[in-house]
Structures are given as structure tokens and as C-alpha cells.
Amino acid sequence: MRFLHTSDWHLGKTLKGRSRSDEHEAALSEILDLVRREQVDCVLITGDLFDSQAPPPESERLAFNFFSELRGLNVSAVIIGGNHDHPRRLLAIRDVFRLIDIHVRPEPVRPVDGGVIQLQKNGERAEIAVLPFVTAGRIEDAAKLMGPEIERFQGYAERIAAMSDTLTKSFSAKTINLLMAHLYVDGAQTSLSEREIHVAKPYAVSPQTFPSTAHYIALGHLHRPQEVAAPSRAMYAGSILQLDFGERDQQKRVVVIDAKPGRPAAVESYPLASGRQLRDVSGTLDELKAASESFGNDLLRVTIKVDKPTSGTADTVRDILPNALEIRLDYPRQEAEPMQIAGADPHDLFTRFYMHQRASSPSDEMSALFRKLYEEALDASV
């Protein structure tokens, strides 16, 4: 059987207010092309389908169109919930999706309740164990629900490990064995674009948590595509677009897995070309103007070198570089001498602070305003 693993779509995510919808649509259609070309039997989506708990209708349209296209190709899919997905929103579509052979699992459940999905194709059987994201606040309940024997385990990582054991018990030499999980594996590389609180303790799970009996472990949550050293082959497919500047330079991809019972799977990455590149550029206004052609379609974070900040610089940059999403000014700031605050004249302190920030002295008007405010504050404090 052949599987395509993709993850962390984050449909609906904007970057500095810029919609990524066109890029998402292109990337999903690129994935559909791969599904056709590589004769994939089942698509594995390891969470964070949507960026927000209440995704815009446009994002839902992209997702639903993708799945109806899959149906047209007679390809099944398994979707697990990520930390960005709303479990009950996924639950709402679960039964309808079931009718088109798309299996949605918003939260961890016992093997008999759908925690292991059995897929039959061409005389082969796959056991797909699923471990959707669960918060630290809900892990105890989730573990209890999974099996009373798990109750003795303490802590997030230990409970996840016990749940993984329970879910993968049916893996055998006669079946194709897959585990899907949305979680943070200790030691894996983050991109600063994941939700920070969910890629730190207590969420770090040891790679030794995973079984040695899997053909492939499909991981979601981290946006950087990477393989994880674990007892079975384990990969973060990564996001399908560079979602934030922390992901610039990352080649996005999907993974195709060819698996047969009783032997190791063939695992191959396919780069995705649809998303626009995110890029850091810096220089003077003239330098950037001269180089603007070479930036192509890239979305830019611009550092502009100026002598001193003047209003309107950002607008000028946007005129030259319409793809500039973030603009920072870089100018020589006066070296801050250690400030002796005690006993110093407040107006003098203000002047030095202003010069440090703006590289010019405050105007007479500004100085007068400071004095006035300072006196008012003194009056108010007596």
C-alpha cells in the first residue's frame, strides 16, 4: 500500500495581514497531483488542518474541495487533530467524512473506538494507530479513557507512551503498521512559528516512546521537515508553506511511504514548489531599489539602512517592494553610556533617552511638552 504523509496545513493563516490562501490552494493541488502520479492509496494528515479554531469559510472550502477530489480518485485519508484544530469542529464533520472513506480523529480514543483504523486494499491490511494532540490539562482524562491500566502513569510523556503502547498492540508481521501523532518529540528542531507553549515542557515526549514494530511513524506539530531518530522510521512531514519568517530557507515537502507487511517501508520525500519563499533583505533604499528585480515573488522582511529615522520611509519601501511584509529601520544609535539615574536632571535623562532612540535631539516643542508633563506628574503625585 502507498501512503502520502502531509501535515500542519494551517489553512487560514495570514502573515502580517497577508492572506496565504492562493498559495495554500496551489500547494493542495500540487499534493493532489502527487497523489495521482504516485498512485497513493491513503493520505495521512497529522493535524493542524486549520490555523484557528474558527477558520474562515475560504479555508474550509479549500479543505473540503481537497477531500472531495480525493474521493474522486478513490483515495482514503486519515486526519488527526492538532493543537490548533478545534476538536468539536472536527467531530462535526467526522460522520459525513466517514461516508467518503475519510477518517477523522479529533482526540485520542481506545483502539476499539476508532483509535486504530483498519484499511484493506489490494489484499493488504493496514493498522493505522492514531494519537491526536491532547493538552496537558486533558491528558489524565484521555489516558483514563484509553485504558484503566494507564491510570498508574504520571506526567504527560509517560501517559503518551502508555497510550502509544495500547494503540500499537495490534501491530503484527502480517499487517502494515503505521502510527500517526501530533506532538513534540524531545530534541526535534522547532521553527519559532509553532505555538510556543506546546513545544516546551511538559510536552516533550521521548522518541523511545514509539514502538519498534511500525513501518512508519507520521508526526505532525513541528513545521520544519525532519526525520526523528526513533525505534521505527519517524518523520515530521512539516508544514506545506513557509508559514513564518522562522521557516525561511526550509524546503517544504510531503512524504510518500511504500509499505508491505513483513519488510521495511520505502520512504521518500517530495519537495513542494507552490509556496512563496520568505526572505530577509537589507540595504539602503538605493541598494534595495537596484536589487528589487532579484527578489522575484518572495515575501520580504526588510531591514532598511538609514542615517536617522524619518517618517514615510516605510511607505517608500512599500512603493519599491510591494511584497515587503515587515519593515525595520536600521540607523546608528548613540552608544548608551551607563545612565546615572539617581540625582540626574529628569529633562537631561529624557534628552539622552530621546537621542538614543531617534538619533536626533528633541525639538524645543518636544522638550517643552516633556517639562509640562513632568510637572503635571509631580503635582499629581503629591
Interatomic CA distance for residues 39 and 81, integer angstroms: 26
Contact between 204 and 158 under an 8 Å Cβ cutoff? The reply is no
List Cα–Cα distances, 294 to 287, 288, 297, 298, in angstroms: 12, 10, 9, 9
Interacting residues of 4 by C-beta distance below 8 A, sequence separation 6+: 31, 34, 35, 38, 40, 42, 43, 44, 254, 255, 256, 257
105/221 with CB nearer Mn ion? 221
For Mn ion, the closer of residues 200 and 291 by Cβ is 200
> In the complex with Mn ion, which residue's Cβ is closer, 48 or 127?
48
- Name the residue nearer to Mn ion (CB basis): 139 or 150: 139
Strand partners, 218: 180, 235
Q: How far is the CB of 44 from Mn ion (least distance, A)?
A: 15
Q: From the CB of 198, what's the least distance to Mn ion, in Å?
A: 6
Q: Give the C-alpha separation, 140 to 67, whole Å.
A: 33
H or E, element range at 84: none
Give the nearest distance from C-beta 52 to Mn ion in angstroms. 12
Task: Return the axis-axis angle of helices 364-381 and 346-358, rounded to nearest 10°.
Answer: 130
- Closer residue to Mn ion in complex, CB, 82/211: 82
Q: How far is the CB of 183 from Mn ion (least distance, A)?
A: 9
Contact 177, 125 (CB under 8 A): no
Say how far apart CA 1 and CA 121 lie, in whole Å: 7
Nearest to 68 by CA among 38, 43, 39, 48: 43
Q: Quick one: how many helices (H) and strands (E) in the chain?
A: 9, 19
Shortest Cβ 253–Mn ion spacing (Å)? 17
Pick the closer one to Mn ion by CB: 24 or 221: 221
| Shortest spacing between CB 256 and Mn ion, in angstroms | 22
CB of 377 to Mn ion, least distance (A): 46
Nearest distance, CB of residue 7 and Mn ion, angstroms = 9
Residues interacting with Mn ion, by CB under 5 A?
Answer: 48, 82-83, 221
Gap between the Cα atoms of 74 and 101, Å rounded: 9
What residues does 253 pair with on adjacent strands? 271
What residue type is 150 in one-letter code? I
Our CB check for Mn ion shows the closer of 6 and 76 to be: 6
Note whether 138 and 87 are within 8 A (CB): no
Separation of alpha carbons 325 and 302, rounded Å:
8
Q: Which is nearer to Mn ion, 84 or 301 (CB)?
A: 84
